[in-house]
Structure 1
Amino acid sequence: MSQTVATAAHCINPLCPRPYPQTMGNNFCSVCGAPLRISNRYIPLKKLGVGGFAAIYTLWDEKTKKERVLKVLLETSPKALALFEQEATVLASLRHPGVPKVEPDSYFYVTFGKSPEIVLPCLVMEKISGKTLEDILEYHQSQGLPEAWVQNWLKQAVYILRELHQRKIIHRDIKPANLMLREGTEQIVLIDFGGAKQIGVKQANFQASSTRLFSPGYSPPEQIAGAVVGPNADFYALGMTCIHLLTGKYPLDLEDPKTGDLHWQKFTNVSPSFANLLDDMIQPNIQKRPANANELLSRIRRTSSQTITSAFAKALFQIISKLPADLFKLSLGILAFLGKSITQAIVLFWKTIAHITKAFFSTLWQMILGGIGGACGSIIGYWLAYKTALGKELDYFISQNSPQLTDFPIFLNSGIILFACAGLTTTWGLMLAGKLRQQQRYLIAIIIGMSSYILGCLLVQKVPARTISPEDLILMTGVTSGLLTLGLGLPSHQIVYILISAVGTAITFAGLLALVMQIVVPLNGVLGIYGNFLDNFNWTNFAFSMAFFSSMGIIIGFWLGVTHFFVVPVLRMLGWR
């Protein structure tokens, strides 16, 4: 017990005539015999008070060596027990800094005595050191608190409610006394979940009844009437709480006795946008309140920015209003011009960010589908060319029927199937991405794509060396990507797309090949390590084929994206339609 400065324990028996002080270290109360060491780990230290149906104590947790809070139910009615068990279940299911932490085994019963036997339901939870918002309001002598404070607390509270509502939990008892500030921080914590309710699908759709539990002045009309309550009942109570904090007046004291309307704005000075937000939160009509926490958070953010802007503008106006008349008019003109320019700059900035973000993800999607298409085509093509009878029959047909042209030394074999399949699937992938506003004419695009890759196959199959030089590959990638782009049905500037795709792909491959030849293995200008990867099947040739064709799809997709999102818009700005 060296970690705590407590010198005495406290008996939790509500009938004990002298519950405090009890000798620290004893297992049982020396007066009534009730246990002082609870669940063989908790020692009650001090009674904090009695609230609702329960007594609250601080206790020492010998397992974690920390102080915690013990809540002991004193009421014996079934309704009170059900609410207490509900609070334990709800808190144990939550893990949020704005909610007291409760471990799964922290709800238990303490039994002692024989005639009669006393059974006390107990709940151990995280100890929150700090003051409630009600305490803070009283400290300021109920004069009302600054709008900036209340806006900050409101935003934090809504984040907590979003977590609760996503788990189908409504708190049902939000008020200044149930919102705390952690000591030494600005962190809001929502406490007292005794009235919390787990709502099911039917309840969320307002088709079931609700337990009649409410706090006058804070709870919405439907809750006071005992009708079904939903998540926006918490928004109503939170709005009333903010009004109480801003005005320093209990909400019921602000009501018009004749109409029941709440006249609160004359008692505080808040921004119109924040006042409108709170008025919407406390609408008697459920449908007129914010629908969910995300909508409420969005409005809070807009309100905060408007409040800051309004305060700055008000202060600036007060300064320049003290200037001479001519200088005052000049200052107003300058401010109006600057305001318009700054607004236009901000709008342009966010439009640019949005365009770059869209360009990044769209281009990335083009590259992914192009790369997947190239890889799939190489797998299918290699299998057809070297693992089926189709490849052998094509080899035989070519050897028997191809003309011998001495001036055009081309060596044909079944590798043409590999290129045709790669062209088909790469084109399909780029069309499927659909980020370039191209016409969806798949048949024409695939025919042209296959033709471009077959032409590329002819360019790299030279005799007599039957090896592939870097120059062959660079030429082939440029020609192939340019022709493939021609078939994509792009909406405009097709010559620009073709040139950039061809030149960009060729330059990219040239750089990659130079890097490979310099870092991986110097090849003296010839990719001799692979021979001709179209010659026959082996795993090295297969891996090279997959890497090559998937890279083709990725690089073509990249240059198409660059052209579509950056080059063509610049050309349009320069007048080339």
Structure 2
Amino acid sequence: MSQVNKSAIHCINPECPRPHPQPWGNKFCNSCGTSLLLLDRYVPLQPLGSGGFAQIYTVWDVITETEKVLKVLIEDSSKALELFIQEAEILCHLEHPGVPQIDICGHFQVELSYPRVQNLPCLVMEKINGLTLEEIQKHYPQGCPQSLVLNWLIQAIDILNHLHQRQIIHRDIKPSNIMLRAAAFSRGVPRGDQLVLIDFGGVKQVSTSMLRFPNRSTRLFSSGYSPPEQLLGGNVGPQADFYALGRTMIELVTGKNPADLEDSMTGELRWRHLVKIKPKLGDLLDEMVKSDSRSRPASATNIQKRLGQISQASAAISVFSQVQQNVQQTISKITQQVSQTQPNPIISFFRQSQEVLQQSAIALTQATSNTIIFTARTFISIVFACLSTIWAMLLTAFGASMGTIIGFLLASQTNWGNQLSGFVSNQLPGVLPNTANTSGAGIILFAIAGLGTAWGLTTTGVFGQKRRYFIASLTSVIGYVLGWVVLQAIAPKNIAEALIGLILIAVSFLTLGIGLRSHHIVHSVITALGTAITFALLISLNLIPADILSAQIVSIGTELTLKVIFFSSIGILLSFYLAVSHYLIVPWLRLLGWN
């Protein structure tokens, strides 16, 4: 250790009358008698500052001969001690380069005798050499480069994914709590430094069920970064970290504090007009900072996928930017060679033409690169949309088929099914006329078929829907049961109209319940109308028999096969029209301003 560091020995007793300086080699403080060699290993050096309820010091590890960080709890309360111990236990089990590593698993205590006997909780962790994003932002008063912000966001989401997979919520993300693991920072050069999330004093570990249905949390927050639910001490889940991270990145890219960007009426951030940012990146950040936690991204994995697409597009653009630079360099070299070898008249003419030639080359390069990028992205998007739609159609049809078969078995092969069928059959004539001879077994078939269809479509997740199986199952069962009732009411008059009514109701309810992120009514109307109109067209062309659902109790063989075909067809068509709505209709509505 250097002589400078040796002269910086510091007592960690918060009430020591003269904590600094202490002679190197002393085992105890000259002023209060507190130990200066913690665990016979750590020598406290200069303080680094305070955070939350703790004081931070640099310590010298005499075994590894390296500097580390000591966190000392100075707040004398049971809640502070609980949070301190929780932070130590959680950090002990995290293994990620973006999280500080704990030197000793768990915390230890230092016994104090001055001014009273007490134990001082301590925690030693690795020292992160580098700058916080708050410090780096001072180099960019007008906002950090977009390439840097994108790189930081990708790394931060990777860290959050590691935490959230272990049911850990940080709850205090902000520029001062994010560091770059680097000895120095070079302005304007994205060196790929490792991002590190620090200050886990407000961390919360929850169970898997609490991640899905978060409970009320301790009221810890940072003004300008914490989401509304955290400020109110309400339900806090992973989306709270997304909100704080989104606001942090918006501050970095704009150079303005989030509080200065808030709309006084709605509380939403108004920042897109301040910077030129990739539309998809801007949309993602806007979604992350939604006031309603349900409108934010569902998971860190979901954000990672979107960032991957944004990064690929950025890489393609950078390639064509390099081509443009090469063209400019080539023109400059030609200019220099001509100026060295040609007479003055030619030099004058060539110099006058140089700017026009350069501008033309740059414009041509930009136009070509933009066209190629647009074409490639459009092609990839179309292929992805087609594959996603096919996958949704197949999985939804499979779910509908399995639901139909299971519904048939329950309706006709079980005592429970027979009892329910008899009960429905007895009650139906009192509700609907002309149904005295109608069997109630069909209601079981419809309900389970709708359940299977909903599960198949929800599992695909290709239309951005949330995988909330319970709500999707409930709305689908209600829709299919109501459709069955409509079928019984209209079928004696016109079976074709009954089928159309059944489809409109069943598909509408199912689409509303699968958890699409926006434009729920639009998706529901387009999907239901498209499916119903297609069935009407098929019936009019005699491609589907109008009496496909005439038999109320299906039997093994032709009847069961027809029912499987019918419900599977509904699944295929509603997936197709949902894709039309998701990939074509809704994007145009957004362009027209209907968000």
**TM-score surpassing 0.5?**
yes
1:286 & 1:215 partners in 2: Cα distance? 17
Where relative contact order (Cα < 8 A, 6+ residues apart) is larger, the structure is: 1
Aligned pairs (5 A) from 1:339-488: none
Name the CA shift for 1:5/1:340 in 2 (closer, same or farther; >3 Å).
Answer: closer
CA displacement at 1:259 relative to structure 2: 2.6
Name the CA shift for 1:40/1:305 in 2 (closer, same or farther; >3 Å).
Answer: same
The worse-fitting range, judged by mean Cα deviation, of 336-345 and 241-250 is 336-345
CA displacement at 1:258 relative to structure 2: 2.4
Local SS of the residue matching 2:6: coil
Q: Which residue of 2 aligns with 1:96?
A: 96
The worse-fitting range, judged by mean Cα deviation, of 17-26 and 253-262 is 253-262
Does 1:199 pair with 2:206? yes
Q: Deviations over 1:437-468 (max 9, x none)?
A: xxxxxxxxxxxxxxxxxxxxxxxxxxxxxxxx
Does 1:162 pair with 2:166? no
Name the CA shift for 1:108/1:344 in 2 (closer, same or farther; >3 Å).
Answer: closer
CA displacement at 1:131 relative to structure 2: 0.6
Q: Which residue of 2 aligns with 1:64?
A: 64
Aligned pairs (5 A) from 1:64-463: 64-105=64-105, 107-113=107-113, 116-140=116-140, 142-184=141-183, 186-310=193-317
1:79 & 1:335 partners in 2: Cα distance? 58
Q: Deviations over 1:349-397 (max 9, x none)?
A: 99xxxxxxxxxxxxxxxxxxxxxxxxxxxxxxxxxxxxxxxxxxxxxxx
2:366 & 2:35 partners in 1: Cα distance? 76
Name the CA shift for 1:65/1:309 in 2 (closer, same or farther; >3 Å).
Answer: same
1:274 & 1:334 partners in 2: Cα distance? 24
CA displacement at 1:309 relative to structure 2: 3.9
CA displacement at 1:328 relative to structure 2: 11
Q: Which residue of 1 aligns with 2:41?
A: 41
CA displacement at 1:78 relative to structure 2: 1.2
2:3 & 2:302 partners in 1: Cα distance? 46
CA displacement at 1:8 relative to structure 2: 3.8
Are the equivalent residues in 2 in contact too, given 1:132–1:179 (CA < 8 A)?
A: yes
Are the equivalent residues in 1 in contact too, given 2:229–2:235 (CA < 8 A)?
A: yes
Q: Deviations over 1:224-243 (max 9, x none)?
A: 11111111211111000000
Name the CA shift for 1:159/1:334 in 2 (closer, same or farther; >3 Å).
Answer: closer
Are the equivalent residues in 2 in contact too, given 1:100–1:126 (CA < 8 A)?
A: yes
The worse-fitting range, judged by mean Cα deviation, of 21-30 and 62-71 is 62-71
Name the CA shift for 1:75/1:104 in 2 (closer, same or farther; >3 Å).
Answer: same
1:313 & 1:11 partners in 2: Cα distance? 58
CA displacement at 1:312 relative to structure 2: 6.3
2:361 & 2:117 partners in 1: Cα distance? 87
1:221 & 1:134 partners in 2: Cα distance? 23
CA displacement at 1:201 relative to structure 2: 2.9
1:230 & 1:208 partners in 2: Cα distance? 8
CA displacement at 1:99 relative to structure 2: 0.5
How many pairs align?
349
Larger Rg, first or second structure (1 or 2): 1
1:170 & 1:259 partners in 2: Cα distance? 27
Q: Deviations over 1:32-66 (max 9, x none)?
A: 11111111111101111122211111001122221
Structure 2 residue ranges without an equivalent (≥5): 184-191, 329-354, 385-595
Name the TM-score, length of structure 2 as normaliser: 0.53
Q: Which residue of 2 aligns with 1:20?
A: 20
2:26 & 2:362 partners in 1: Cα distance? 80
Are the equivalent residues in 2 in contact too, given 1:132–1:178 (CA < 8 A)?
A: yes
Q: Which residue of 2 aligns with 1:427?
A: none
Q: Deviations over 1:408-454 (max 9, x none)?
A: xxxxxxxxxxxxxxxxxxxxxxxxxxxxxxxxxxxxxxxxxxxxxxx
Name the CA shift for 1:267/1:311 in 2 (closer, same or farther; >3 Å).
Answer: farther
Q: Residue 173 of structure 1 aligns to which amino acid in structure 2?
A: D
Q: CA RMSD in A?
A: 3.6
Are the equivalent residues in 1 in contact too, given 2:287–2:297 (CA < 8 A)?
A: yes
Name the CA shift for 1:45/1:258 in 2 (closer, same or farther; >3 Å).
Answer: same
Q: Residue 6 of structure 1 aligns to which amino acid in structure 2?
A: K
1:206 & 1:11 partners in 2: Cα distance? 45
CA displacement at 1:2 relative to structure 2: 7.3
Local SS of the residue matching 2:131: strand
Are the equivalent residues in 1 in contact too, given 2:70–2:123 (CA < 8 A)?
A: yes
Q: Residue 38 of structure 1 aligns to which amino acid in structure 2?
A: L
2:28 & 2:371 partners in 1: Cα distance? 79
Are the equivalent residues in 2 in contact too, given 1:3–1:65 (CA < 8 A)?
A: no
Name the CA shift for 1:249/1:43 in 2 (closer, same or farther; >3 Å).
Answer: same
Structure 1 residue ranges without an equivalent (≥5): 351-577
